[in-house]
Amino acid sequence: MQIHVVQSGDSVYSIANSYGTTADALTEANELETPSELVIGQSLVIPIVGQFYFVQPGDSLYSIGQQFGIPYQELANINNLSVDQPLSVGFRLYIPEQPKPTIEVNAYVEPTGETVSETLENSARKNAPYLTYLAPFNYRITREGDLIAPPLDDFAAIATANNATQMLVVTNLEEGEFSADLGRIIVTDENVQNNLLDNIVTTAQQVGYQDVHFDFEFLPPENKEDYNNFLRKAKQRLENEGLLMSTALAPKTSATQEGEWYEAHDYAAHGEIADFVVLMTYEWGYSGGPAMAVSPINPVREVVEYALTEMPANKIMLGQNLYGYDWTLPYEPGGDYAQAISPQQAIALARENNVAIEYDQEAQAPFFFYTDAEGNQHEVWFEDARSIQTKFDLIKELNLRGISYWKLGLAFPQNWLLLQDNFTIRKSE
């Protein structure tokens, strides 16, 4: 695959011609609703095997080969060039497809209401071929240790048909919020724990879950070791039943990081006990905060690099958002929340308001401003092919176990094309 950023004067036809593909293929790959109206700054994925590289000032066959991990002699041969031939700026070189690392991919899916919406079910069905795990969010725990299931509809059948492992996600959510008090009961009351683990095992056997995923958030800091001990107990029970166990971790950068979201999450203990963890590396830009990138690359890297000091890389799943936010300006603490939007919705907003999409090189994230019909100024940050490729590069650089998406149901076709292009996805055996 190739990423192309739309410039002034570009059309689907001119872009397709530059890369030796067709306008129809380009339109279909990017799910372009209005292919005749591209947005300046919009990133497109070009559906070709391998990629093209356009020579930049100072490039040589040797330096380009080094960049892509290809001997310069092979690069010259592929492109029918002499190894001594000087390269002109703008000359197009073909770069063949490279060997792909194998990773695991999880995606949460969050049904609401009494049944799963058709949109959500279709999203799960469409993207399940790219998944190692499908994780319905969530089974809520009562104060007695019983489980309240989410609507599941056809998720089990979708997972089975696509050779994806079902993940049983259990949380301390109560009345729509993570409850510190409920979490304290779960990790300290042995009777509640025993009932909970019995219910988890029974549910896993009935539905067909193979991984049990604990997402306990905002636990009281004094219960950190209680949580660790609960996980040890759960791991032994679940392992005896042939089940994997994973956990979700708040995005910490040190063992001593303060804050109610962080303190009870012990990276070293989770890395020792769990089969793998999901780092929740998103929400720097969040609906109730000021406008900024949701998962800027440098803070994400800092979390992963800290995690690597506490656990092996093959236990780490990088958390990744499939959404962005539209903030109404000026931001006022306690004011209106930003609206969550999909990457496709963000592009449509830019198109409808005739504004160009910009790209923050430090955050490695796209953004734009627009003014609505009432005269209110907005700031939008979202994900695109460039920003997601940066996260894929981090996974490859640090040899992480894989990636975990929050959450299905939001259209981002470029992500799935690039995911498949960058990695071989491990499926259940």
Which pTM was predicted? 0.94
Pairing of strands 402-406, 316-321: parallel
Is 91 found in the same domain as 131? Answer: no
For residue 327, being part of any structural domain is answered with no
Is 113 found in the same domain as 79? Answer: no
For residue 357, being part of any structural domain is answered with no
Please name the residue ranges forming H helices in 284-384. Answer: 297-308, 343-352
106 vs 116: CA distance, rounded Å: 19
Token duo for residue 7? 């410039």
Query: What domain range is 52 assigned to?
Result: 2-95
For 202-230, what is the mean pLDDT? 98
Q: In the structure, what pLDDT confidence band is assigned to residue 1 with cuts at 50, 70 and 90?
A: confident
Residue 94: its pLDDT value, please? 93
For residue 141, being part of any structural domain is answered with yes
For residue 341, being part of any structural domain is answered with no
Residue 98: its pLDDT value, please? 85
Single out the residue in 95, 126, 159 at which a domain terminates: 95
Angle between helices 190-207 and 224-240 (to 10 degrees): 40
Is 23 found in the same domain as 81? Answer: yes
Single out the residue in 53, 71, 95 at which a domain terminates: 95
234 vs 231: CA distance, rounded Å: 5
Query: In angstroms, how far is the first alpha carbon of the chain from the final one?
Result: 28
How many Cβ atoms sit within 10 Å of the Cβ of residue 14? 11
Q: In the structure, what pLDDT confidence band is assigned to residue 50 with cuts at 50, 70 and 90?
A: confident
134 vs 128: CA distance, rounded Å: 7
Percent of the chain with pLDDT over 90: 94
Residue 400: its pLDDT value, please? 98
Token duo for residue 149? 């299931």
Owner of token pair 């995005």: 251
Judge whether residue 112 has pLDDT over 90.
no
Is 229 found in the same domain as 129? Answer: yes
Is 12 found in the same domain as 119? Answer: no
Token duo for residue 262? 């962080």
Judge whether residue 410 has pLDDT over 80.
yes
Find the CATH number of the domain harbouring 265: 3.20.20.80
Is 84 found in the same domain as 200? Answer: no
Find the CATH number of the domain harbouring 79: 3.10.350.10
Q: In the structure, what pLDDT confidence band is assigned to residue 113 with cuts at 50, 70 and 90?
A: confident
Q: What are phi and psi of 10, to 5 degrees?
A: -70, 150
303 vs 134: CA distance, rounded Å: 24
Pairing of strands 102-109, 424-425: parallel
Judge whether residue 324 has pLDDT over 80.
yes
375 vs 347: CA distance, rounded Å: 20
Q: How many angstroms separate the most distant Cα atoms in the chain?
A: 76
Per-residue pLDDT of 330-341, as tens digits, reads: 999 999 999 999
Domains held by the chain: number:
2
Per-residue pLDDT of 355-392, as tens digits, reads: 999 999 999 999 999 999 999 999 999 999 999 999 99
Angle between helices 413-422 and 385-398 (to 10 degrees): 30
Q: Which of 217, 283, 310, 379 is catalytic?
A: 217
Q: Which of 271, 162, 266 is nearest to 222 (CA)?
A: 266
Single out the residue in 75, 95, 115 at which a domain terminates: 95
How many Cβ atoms sit within 10 Å of the Cβ of residue 78? 14
| Known catalytic membership, residue 217 | yes
For 96-125, what is the mean pLDDT? 93
Per-residue pLDDT of 148-190, as tens digits, reads: 999 999 999 999 999 999 999 999 999 999 999 999 999 999 9
